[in-house]
Amino acid sequence: MTRTNFFDLSCPSPVPDRETVQLAHGGGGRAMKQLIDEIVRPAFQDPELDRGHDGALLDVNGPLAFTSDSYVVRPLFFPGGDIGSLAVNGTVNDLAMCGARPLYLSVGLILEEGLSIDTLRRVLASTRGAAVATGVRLVTGDTKVVDRGKMDGMFINTAGVGKIVAPSKIGPESVRLGDVVIVSGDIGRHGIAVMAAREGFGFETPIASDCAPLAAPVLALINEGIATHCLRDLTRGGLASAAVEIAESSGLAIALEEQAIPICAEVKSACELFGFDPLHVANEGRFIAFVPQEDAARTVEILRRWPVGKTAAIIGAVEESPRGRVTCRGPLGVRRAVDMLSGEQLPRIC
């Protein structure tokens, strides 16, 4: 019979299960350090992160754009993207809309206890991939873990800093009467793709999200001297929300032409099926630009050089009245009001 020696008892490893995220991973101790050292840092590969300090030290001259966003998309993976690439692209796009070259991002991870480490790895790899694709660095971050059932897998919070490169202020206050409204590509893919993935609709032709970085085409517009008065990326609430916000802020009227708005056949079909207005459906890789009439054709030509801008089109113009409102001329030539969604987009019954 062997005699147990108390001093030989070995402590269990702080993280007995290496397959899933545990509460200990957010506890601030050894387990958290392990998660960051073994999973997060290798995925992000940035020297600033490797310094292991409380914050990143950055060297930026001149005016900056600074933005923050949170990502709670469900499901985490959807055709055309995932929560990681979405977080990077979404933040990069907000910076680009300010006329800034995106430089640095923070990534705050909020993880649900029980999330598989493999899922985390895949999301982090995709996060890094999106950052590399845009030339933005992931320089600081944070990790928290919450009890199982308190959230849905993982959330990501980001902040981003970019250097302003536009020669004049880009924003609703710069919109001028007679400006032309241009959309960078066909609308509605992201909203339909995520809804289809979440609800398990098997469309005959699967629709992939338009999730993509927009910094390159925006910087090209600026570099080529297009007088970009205002830029706005189309996210939740769709083209309608973006246009209404700008009309209200600028106090001018935006007149859209429904026939000119590019929408792919699959998104059209899905919208007909559910009773959605495509103008309300979410996007994650599209923007509208307000430019003077004389720059309009060249803007479209520049945007079309990029895969995300292949279907860029002139969709409307800025008019004087009705002030602060958006209208849309339909296929029969009758103009209707366009408003923001009232609440959530809900499918009709029949």
Partner 1 sequence: MNFRDEYRDADAARRFANAIRGIVTRPWTLMEVCGGQTHAILRFGVDRLLPPEVSLLHGPGCPVCVTPAEYIDKAIEIASSRNTILCSFGDMLRAPGTKGDLFAAKSRGANVRIVYSPLDAVTIAQAEPDRDVVFFAIGFETTAPANAMAAIHAKQSGVNNFSMLSSHALVPPAIRSLLEAPGARVQGFLAAGHVCTVMGYREYEPIAERFGVPIVVTGFEPLDILQGVYMCLRQLEDGRAVVENQYSRAVRRDGNEAARRVMREVFQVAPRRWRGVGDIPESGLSFTEAYADFDAERRFGAVMTRDDAADLCIAGQVLRGDRKPTDCPAFGKSCTPERPLGVTMVSNEGACAAYYRYRSLETMDAAQ
349 makes contact with partner 1 (CB under 8 A): yes
Please say which residue, 201 or 306, places its beta carbon nearer to partner 1. Answer: 201
344 makes contact with partner 1 (CB under 8 A): yes
Please say which residue, 9 or 350, places its beta carbon nearer to partner 1. Answer: 350
Please say which residue, 1 or 350, places its beta carbon nearer to partner 1. Answer: 350
CA–CA distance, 138 with 56 (Å, rounded to integer): 10
Half-sphere exposure of 88 (CA within 13 A, CB side): 26
333 makes contact with partner 1 (CB under 8 A): yes
Please say which residue, 145 or 194, places its beta carbon nearer to partner 1. Answer: 194
x/- binding map, residues 11-50, to partner 1, per CB under 8 A? ----------------------------------------
339 makes contact with partner 1 (CB under 8 A): yes
Give the one residue of 1, 9, 11, 334 binding partner 1; rule: CB under 8 A: 334
Residue 180 and residue 281 in contact, taking contact as beta carbons nearer than 8 Å: no
Within positions 187 to 246, which residues make up the interface with partner 1, using CB under 8 A?
199, 201
Give the one residue of 272, 294, 301, 320 binding partner 1; rule: CB under 8 A: 272
CA–CA distance, 296 with 107 (Å, rounded to integer): 37
Q: What are phi and psi of 110, to 5 degrees?
A: -115, 115
Residue 43 and residue 37 in contact, taking contact as beta carbons nearer than 8 Å: no
**Cβ partners under 8 Å of residue 325, min gap 6:** 244, 247, 253, 254, 337
x/- binding map, residues 274-293, to partner 1, per CB under 8 A? -x------------------
Q: Three-state SS string across 100-131, please? A: EEEEEEEEEEEEECCCEHHHHHHHHHHHHHHH
Please say which residue, 47 or 333, places its beta carbon nearer to partner 1. Answer: 333
269 makes contact with partner 1 (CB under 8 A): yes
348 makes contact with partner 1 (CB under 8 A): yes
**Cβ partners under 8 Å of residue 204, min gap 6:** none
Please say which residue, 27 or 275, places its beta carbon nearer to partner 1. Answer: 275
Least distance in angstroms from the C-beta of 212 to partner 1: 24
Give the one residue of 144, 268, 298, 304 binding partner 1; rule: CB under 8 A: 268
Please say which residue, 1 or 265, places its beta carbon nearer to partner 1. Answer: 265
Question: Where on the chain is the footprint of partner 1 (CB under 8 A)?
Answer: 199, 201, 265, 268-269, 272, 275, 322, 325, 327, 330-337, 339, 342-344, 346-350
